[in-house]
Amino acid sequence: MNLCLLCSACVQMEDYDNTPRGNFDALWKIMDQRYCFFSYKNVDWNTVYDKYSRRISNYMDNEALFYLLDEMLQELKDGHVNLYSPFDVGRYWKWFEDYPSNYVSHLTDEYLGSDYMMSGGIKYKILEDNIGYMYYGDFSSGMGETNLDYIINKLALCQGIILDVRDNGGGLLTNSDKLASRFTNEKVLVGYIQHKIGTGHNDFSEPFARYIEPSKRLRYQKRVVVLTNRKCFSATNDFVNAMRYFPSVIILGDQTGGGSGLPFSSELPNGWSVRFSACPSFDADMQQIEYGILPDIKVDLQTDDVMKKLDTLIEAARDLIKQE
């Protein structure tokens, strides 16, 4: 104790009650200090506190508390904000639920058939018109450099590649960087990243430039068409952002879903976990990409094509490659 009086380093732990009030206050404070998009989204978090605080009662049960806390988090309109309890996951999914999906998995199955190859989480095949098709549905799937060597080598003689990342909800940014590095011969500025340096809503570091450096291994040299839809989120949004700066790449499909804030995790006294956007990413012009990236060519899936077992986006990409 005497030492503590002499030493300002002594850490005083936060003391939260495991009550509805204590959990509400803990969640509100975690977000208040660590969430990164308050200013960009023009959310007055103090007003949110007043709005929901009056509905908190220490007599409410866990479910009532969960759905009230989730409702509060929905004010942030952020797909990276989730509340995890043993009985449900709080989520905001309007970034894709309110839009056409532009992806039907059984259609891509028609193109892949049963003789496609699969490596590092990527399904790939050479279509009958000598166009390579790659489907990568999850940036969490382990993807090694050797996997990419085999894939690029296999598709090297194709006229072009369709790189389909529709419905890819994200994963590891390192996989995004690794895959993108196979499609550029130059070091390219693709964006910036910031982090919070304090608890204030605008306490951010200086933007740090992000580059994609060309892979020192096999790189693809011809036209690449990246297919996107609204479910391209988080690391996939990051991947699409990087790819659009490469001259050989065209983004085709629908706007991506966004999710540019690198999410962190924390927890409440009752053991529930919360995830939230912590580090904002920007494009190379320092513009926000939290709400998604527009494609170079907007194409929607057409019902007529679906009836004919054709994927409108894949067909458009094939035409684009064949025109060159």
* Beta carbon nearer to other proteins, 100 or 142: 142
266 binds other proteins (CB under 8 A): yes
Based on the shown chain and the rule CB under 8 A, indicate whether residue 22 belongs to the binding site for other proteins: no
Q: Does residue number 13 form part of the binding site for other proteins (CB under 8 A)?
A: yes
- Environment class of residue 225 by beta-carbon count within 10 Å: exposed (0-12), middle (13-18) or buried (19+)? buried
In angstroms, what is the minimal distance from the CB of 147 to other proteins? 21
9 binds other proteins (CB under 8 A): yes
φ/ψ region of 294 (left if φ > 0, alpha if ψ in -120 to 50, else beta) reads: beta
Site map for other proteins, 156-175, x if CB under 8 A? -----------------xx-
Verify binding: residue 91, other proteins, rule CB under 8 A.
no
Binding-residue total with other proteins (CB under 8 A): 42
Separation CA 189–CA 211 (nearest Å)? 4
18 sits near other proteins (criterion: CB under 8 A): yes
Q: Which stretch binds other proteins (CB under 8 A): 7-15, 46-54, 105-113, 222-230?
A: 7-15
Q: How far is the CB of 160 from other proteins (least distance, A)?
A: 30
In the bound state with other proteins, the residue whose beta carbon lies nearer, of 46 and 265, is 265
Q: Least Å distance between CB 209 and other proteins?
A: 9
Using the rule CB under 8 A, give the single segment among 9-17, 66-74, 129-137, 180-188 that binds other proteins. Answer: 9-17
Q: Which stretch binds other proteins (CB under 8 A): 11-19, 158-166, 247-255, 307-315?
A: 11-19
Q: Is 182 in the site for other proteins (CB under 8 A)?
A: no
In the complex, minimum distance from the CB of residue 294 to other proteins, in angstroms, rounded to a whole number? 26
Among residues 17, 44, 186, 203, which is the contact residue for other proteins, using CB under 8 A?
A: 203
Beta bridge partners of 126: 132
Is the CB of residue 162 less than 8 Å from the CB of residue 133?
yes
Work out how close the CB of 30 gets to other proteins at its nearest, in angstroms, rounded to a whole number: 6
Which residues of this chain interact with other proteins, rule CB under 8 A?
3, 6-11, 13-14, 16, 18, 26, 29-30, 34, 36, 173-174, 193, 195-199, 203, 205, 208, 210, 262-267, 269-273, 275, 278-279
